[in-house]
Every structure is written in structure tokens, then in C-alpha cells.
Amino acid sequence: MIIEIYSNKLNILFDIFGSDKIENGNQITIPGNATVKFINFNSPKSIVSEIPISLELLIAFGSGAVSSLIANWIYDKFKGKAKTIKINRKVVNLNKGKIKSVVEESIKMEL
């Protein structure tokens, strides 16, 4: 499952990975038997730019993945930090129920 996050919060990488020095391929394990892998980060040239940074992540589901725990992690990480969030290229409201529904659908497609 691909997640794209658009945010004006410059410390969003640290909030997710615990470090600002992230390289392509870095990953963490999250609740619900899933991993989050860093794919891409784009930042505007100017710090005063109104253009949000964009971050792309891949969430891979393990056997027995729990959609509610994964959805809660996504919601908790990006609530109040993301201007826009896309899951599998579709804009998703930052709402626990909607995110859980999209995660459940993605788990069914992947496994």
C-alpha cells in the first residue's frame, strides 16, 4: 500500500522514523504486523514556500495484519500534520474509519 503525505511540518520524517537522516529503503515495524518503508521525500527549494513537502511511504502487510492497528498508527502519525494524505493514489480524509476501510481493502488485495 502506497501512502503519499503532503505537509508543511518539516519534522515529519523524524516523527515517523525517529531520525531526520533517512535514506531510500529505511523501514520500521508498526503495530498490526506491518512495515513502513521510506520511498521518497520532496521539499520545496525555499523554507518560506507555501508548497508543502511530500513524502511517499510503502506499507507492507505481514501475515495476520490487523487493519485497525495499522489505521490507528496512520491516523496518529499524521493527524494535525498532514494537509493531504493519499492511499494508493486516492485522497483519503484523515478519519480513523475511512483509513481503516482503505487499509482493509488493501490487505485483501495484497494477501
Q: Could you read off the pLDDT of 8-46 as tens digits, one per residue? A: 887 888 888 888 778 888 999 999 999 999 999 887 765
Q: What's the pLDDT at 49? A: 60
C-alpha cell at 19: 531520525
Q: Which residues contact 17 (CB under 8 A, 6 or more apart)?
A: 26, 28, 38
Mean pLDDT for 54-77 is 95
Residue 7 is which amino acid? S
With cell 521539499, the residue in question is 43
Query: Could you list the residue range(s) of the whole structural domain that residue 33 is in?
Result: 2-110
23: Cα separation from own chain's centroid: 16
C-alpha cell at 92: 483519503
In angstroms, the CA 83 to CA 87 distance is 14
Q: Could you read off the pLDDT of 82-105 as tens digits, one per residue? A: 988 999 999 998 999 999 999 999
Q: What's the pLDDT at 43? A: 78
H or E, element range at 8: none
Domain tally, the chain = 1
What letter would DSSP give residue 92? -
Sheet of 90-91, strands arranged across: 27-30, 34-42, 53-61, 2-7, 82-87, 90-91
